[in-house]
Amino acid sequence: MKRTIVPTPGAAVVHTHAEADVTSLIADLAAKAPLASPAFTGTPTGITKAHVGLGNVTNSAQLVAASNLSDLASASTARTNLGLGNVDNTSDANKPVSTAQQTALDGKWPTQPWPSGYYLFTAGAHLVTTNASLGTGTLRVLPWMVTKTISITRIGAEISTIGDVGSKLRLGIYSDNGSCYPGSLLIDAGQIAGDSATIQELTVSQSLTAGLYWVGGVVQSVTTTQPTVRVPSNWFPPITLPMQTTIPTANTTTIGYSMTGVTGALPGTFSATPATAGSVPRVFVKTA
């Protein structure tokens, strides 16, 4: 290295040295951390909590407590502080039914365990009588509450006394129209003989979901004598039936609805003009 000395009265003498002329300079600089993204080793000193944004923390135990709320006196206080005052550790199996859920359940019909392959009456079987004047061509139905999904394979009724030769009793089921009144035809099962004093059934294949249905029949093909049909007596419908817009007459009995003029197949929709019925054929079905 060339060294130049320029003496100037009253001025400092300026000169330079090569890095190699300074003992251990390169090694000492390499051991220092850079200003940008330094990586420290050992135990740094002179760094305070304020330098790292933890000015309010007094010790490491507070960090642990803040993460798991162990410094709080009770679990209830912890839940309240977090806005979870209504949360507890009740297992799913032991959780109570809410008020809204119970209200919804209270409005449901109980599920009746109807076994497979059994006959059941769609109206009460405890008290019965007979009726020989249901009216030719007058379709009569009563409400039937199905409390679980079932499939039926038979539908039938009883003729207790024969009518004219060739007289018939046609059986069927209607859906409810949503207002406790028969609506659309679900099944026209066909006719049983009105000139045979027997219990008769017809083969059907029909699935019924839980809900309200209307079951009954209509006497047909009568010239002189109607067949006498077994009907329920002192039976109370499972729902309160709307009767009419005028005051009812004395001793009115209503267990269903009726419509006239049904001389052939059952109509696709029940009459929109309500007519109450105090007597309806007692119909039975068989579950699949």
The dihedral through the CA atoms of 262, 267, 270, 271 has a sign that is negative
CATH assignment at residue 127: 2.60.120
**CA 30 to centroid of chain Cα atoms:** 73
Could you tell me the two tokens for 184? 């659309």
Res. 27 pLDDT band, cuts 50 70 90: confident
pLDDT at 1 over 50: no
Phi, psi angle pair for 229, to nearest 5°: -115, 140
Could you tell me the two tokens for 276? 């109450």
pLDDT at 8 over 80: no
Evaluate whether 126 touches 219 at the Cβ level (below 8 Å). Answer: no
Least confident of 27-36, 201-210, 274-283: 27-36
**Which amino acid is located at 209 in the chain?**
T
Assigned domain for 43 exists: no
Domains: count for the chain? 1
pLDDT tens figures, 228-276:
999 998 888 888 888 777 887 887 778 999 999 999 999 999 998 878 8
Phi, psi angle pair for 64, to nearest 5°: -65, -45
Assigned domain for 197 exists: yes
Residue 258: closest CA among 163, 138, 176: 138
Predicted local confidence at residue 111, as pLDDT: 61
* Mean pLDDT for the stretch of residues 107-134: 81
* Mean pLDDT for the stretch of residues 216-223: 97
Assigned domain for 256 exists: yes
Of 123 and 154, the structure prediction assigns the larger pLDDT to 154
DSSP, collapsed to helix, strand or coil, labels residue 66 as helix
Predicted local confidence at residue 18, as pLDDT: 73
d(C-alpha 199, C-alpha 249), whole Å: 35
d(C-alpha 140, C-alpha 232), whole Å: 13
The dihedral through the CA atoms of 170, 278, 142, 276 has a sign that is positive
Predicted local confidence at residue 6, as pLDDT: 55
In sequence order, the β-bridge partners of residue 201 are 156
pLDDT tens figures, 55-101:
776 666 555 555 556 556 677 777 777 777 777 778 877 778 888 88
pLDDT tens figures, 78-91:
777 777 777 777 88
Assigned domain for 225 exists: yes
Assigned domain for 125 exists: yes
List Cα–Cα distances, 32 to 19, 45, 48, in angstroms.
17, 15, 21
240: exposed, middle or buried (Cβ count in 10 Å: 0-12, 13-18, 19+): exposed
Assigned domain for 106 exists: no
Structural domain including 177 reads 119-243+252-287
- DSSP H stretches of helix in 83-151: 99-106
- DSSP H stretches of helix in 8-151: 25-30, 60-68, 75-81, 99-106
**pTM of the entire predicted model:** 0.63
pLDDT tens figures, 171-219:
999 999 999 999 999 999 999 999 999 999 999 999 999 999 999 999 9
- What's the half-sphere exposure (Cβ side, CA atoms, 13 Å) at 285? 27
Assigned domain for 104 exists: no
Assigned domain for 201 exists: yes
Evaluate whether 137 touches 226 at the Cβ level (below 8 Å). Answer: no
